[in-house]
């Protein structure tokens, strides 16, 4: 079935899915925010909003943000271009030009993330003006009962399910792993980020992603990926339509504790392909959004395509290709310069840390590994996801391998596993960054630091090399990685231990 035929069906099947999933019961399984007087079921009928607004015709949008009957002041409200704040009575008003599909808020610290019944974040509403070109839209927030300064979040890069086989693996492997991890957070707030490529072109499977999110028990925000769009459309804006119907705006912000979170859409579809690009409207909105944030504060920005993947250097190229980097990244770096900024991205199906212009970018290994072809990405990083912990303004992170405990941070190979290094042992320490130290022991004797250099993970070579491997995705090949470590061993390697210490002094060990 073509993508176009599939997307014709998804609107018709949407309401039936929600009924079967038990998400349209009168009890309302999860809290959500709604325009004043709107019934809960209406947003989930998933009908196309044909001619909801006349393009270019100004719409006056106004409403109130409240919590437990009291107004909430200084909440940012936007249509994705214009941005205003609620006054002391929680009231706001802005003029939209008729091209903006949503009005939405920056959920402030101290309040729970409002939810759709499916478990995805509901911080937005469609702009549907009345006869007088006025749209009345209000938001209700629920206060947290405990501080959110200490919180956790998960980042799921590229679930990228294409068919029901891959959906089943997502549901049977990733979802239980997350559900087992979440109780360890205790009563601390937590949320998730689906960092794009939630699907592999088959947008009819978006409900399966929602089912997975719901089972994790934590709220999820979504990032638009290049496989989450429509292709047979007249413009890049039109390509986002199905994503909008399920998850709302493709760029927005929210606050949890002391950290300001931003999600951006850097997918630009030009009819025959895509490039990484952040359009002018987003940059203007981002500049206004950051103007509210004091300099020096920790800001976390999530997007699908990396701002700058260093894959091109590993392959010996002079410039980063536009499909795995953001072509106008200098503008983003400039806006983030006053802050302690982290960028969280996905897309390349490999794990690396990039430091540019004072910004730390985390490019994540993927939920699906090498496109659900086996247990690892093509750089040897296990199928998994990012785990982050915020304490005040400090951010810590680790990579959680699906099916393993948090101590699983490396894979060690015997001497000669890399044909290019026949006398050396090899270790893949996938979450390595320059602040880590990797040493090796022979028996109880510390032999020193291992040599970090480009290499291919031996397991990836085994699973992915050859025209007929891996079976489901024969175009997957082992990739050069910068988190490979080597050490020469003259004799027996049975007593070898590798010890890796991260930037916070946590020690992980691996044996052959």
CATH number at residue 294: 3.60.21.10
Along the 512 residues of the chain, how does pLDDT read in single tens digits? 455 454 544 444 444 444 443 333 322 223 333 333 333 333 334 444 444 445 668 999 999 999 999 999 999 999 999 999 999 999 999 999 889 999 999 999 999 999 999 999 999 999 998 888 999 999 999 999 999 999 999 999 999 999 999 999 999 999 999 999 999 999 999 999 999 999 999 999 999 999 999 999 999 999 999 999 999 999 999 999 999 999 999 999 999 999 999 999 999 999 999 999 999 999 999 999 999 999 999 999 999 999 999 999 999 999 999 999 999 999 999 999 999 999 999 999 999 999 999 999 999 999 999 999 999 999 999 999 999 999 999 999 999 999 999 999 999 999 999 999 999 999 999 999 999 999 999 988 999 999 999 999 999 999 999 999 999 999 999 999 999 999 999 888 889 999 999 999 999 999 98
- Picking from 340, 366, 401, the residue at the C-terminal end of a domain is 401
Q: Is residue 11 part of a domain?
A: no
pLDDT of residue 151: 98
Q: In this predicted model, what pLDDT tens digit does every residue of 79-132 receive, in sequence order?
A: 999 999 999 999 999 999 889 999 999 999 999 999 999 999 999 999 998 888
Residue 82 lies in a domain: yes
pLDDT value, residue 170:
98
Q: Is residue 17 part of a domain?
A: no
91 burial type by CB count under 10 A (0-12 exposed, 13-18 middle, 19+ buried): middle
Do 267 and 136 share a structural domain? no
Residue 20 lies in a domain: no
**Residue at 24 is within a domain:** no
Q: Is residue 9 part of a domain?
A: no
- Give residue 237's domain range: 150-401
201 within domain boundaries: yes
Picking from 373, 401, 429, the residue at the C-terminal end of a domain is 401
Within 8 A by CB and 6+ apart from 507, the residues are 499, 500, 501
Element (H, E) at 434: none
The model's pLDDT over 207-233, given as tens digits with 9 standing for 90+, comes to: 999 999 999 999 999 999 999 999 999
3-state SS string for 24-93: CCCCCCCCCCCCCCCCCCHHHHCCCCCCCCCCCCCEEEEEEEEECCEECCCCEEECCCCEEECCCCCEEE
Centre a 10 Å sphere on the Cβ of residue 49 and count the other Cβ atoms it contains: 13
How many structural domains comprise the chain?
3
Residue 117 vs residues 103, 173, 220, 471: alpha-carbon distances, Å: 20, 23, 12, 38
**Residue 19 belongs to some domain of the structure:** no
Q: Same domain for 219 and 282?
A: yes
Are residues 429 and 346 both part of a single domain?
Answer: no
């Amino acid at each position: 079935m073509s993508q176009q035929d599939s997307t014709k069906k998804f609107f018709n099947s949407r309401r039936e899915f929600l009924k079967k999933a038990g998400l349209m019961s009168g009890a309302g399984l999860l809290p959500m925010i709604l325009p004043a007087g709107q019934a809960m079921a209406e947003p989930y009928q998933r009908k196309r909003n044909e001619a909801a607004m006349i393009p270019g015709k100004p719409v006056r949008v106004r409403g109130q943000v409240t919590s437990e009957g009291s107004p909430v002041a200084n909440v940012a409200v936007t249509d994705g271009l214009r941005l205003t704040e609620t006054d002391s009575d929680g009231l706001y008003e802005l003029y939209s030009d008729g091209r903006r599909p949503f009005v939405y808020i920056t959920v402030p610290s101290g309040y729970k993330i409002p939810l759709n019944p499916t478990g995805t974040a509901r911080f937005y509403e469609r702009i549907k003006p009345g006869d007088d070109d006025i749209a009345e839209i209000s938001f209700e927030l629920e206060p947290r009962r405990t501080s959110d300064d200490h919180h956790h979040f998960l980042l799921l890069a590229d679930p990228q399910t294409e068919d029901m086989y891959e959906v089943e693996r997502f549901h049977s492997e990733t979802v239980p792993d997350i559900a087992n991890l979440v109780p360890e957070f205790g009563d601390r707030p937590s949320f998730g980020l689906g960092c794009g490529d939630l699907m592999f072109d088959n947008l009819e499977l978006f409900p399966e992603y929602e089912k997975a999110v719901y089972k994790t028990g934590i709220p999820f925000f979504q990032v638009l990926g290049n496989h989450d769009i429509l292709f047979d459309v007249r413009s890049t804006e039109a390509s986002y339509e199905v994503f909008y119907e399920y998850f709302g705006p493709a760029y927005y912000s929210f606050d949890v504790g002391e950290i300001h979170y931003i999600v951006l859409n850097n997918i630009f579809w030009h009819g025959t392909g895509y490039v990484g690009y952040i359009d002018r409207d987003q940059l203007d909105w981002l500049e206004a959004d950051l103007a509210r944030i004091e300099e020096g504060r920790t800001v976390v920005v999530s997007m699908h395509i990396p701002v700058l993947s260093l894959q091109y250097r590993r392959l010996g190229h002079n410039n980063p290709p536009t499909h795995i980097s953001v072509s106008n990244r200098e503008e983003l770096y400039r806006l983030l310069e006053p802050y302690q900024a982290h960028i969280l991205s996905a897309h390349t199906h490999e794990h690396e840390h990039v430091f540019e212009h004072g910004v730390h970018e985390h490019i994540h290994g993927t939920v699906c590994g090498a496109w659900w072809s086996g247990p690892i990405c093509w750089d040897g990083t296990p199928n998994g996801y990012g785990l982050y912990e915020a304490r005040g303004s400090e951010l810590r992170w680790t990579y959680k391998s699906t099916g393993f405990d948090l101590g699983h941070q490396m894979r060690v190979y015997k001497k000669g596993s890399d044909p290019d290094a026949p006398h050396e042992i090899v270790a893949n320490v996938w979450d390595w960054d320059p602040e880590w130290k990797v040493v090796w022991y022979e028996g109880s004797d510390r032999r020193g630091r291992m040599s970090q250099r480009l290499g291919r993970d031996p397991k990836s070579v085994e699973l992915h090399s050859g025209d007929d491997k891996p079976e489901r995705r024969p175009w997957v090949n082992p990739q050069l990685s910068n988190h490979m470590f080597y050490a020469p061993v003259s004799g027996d390697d049975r007593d070898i231990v590798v010890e890796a210490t991260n930037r916070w002094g946590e020690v992980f060990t691996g044996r052959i």
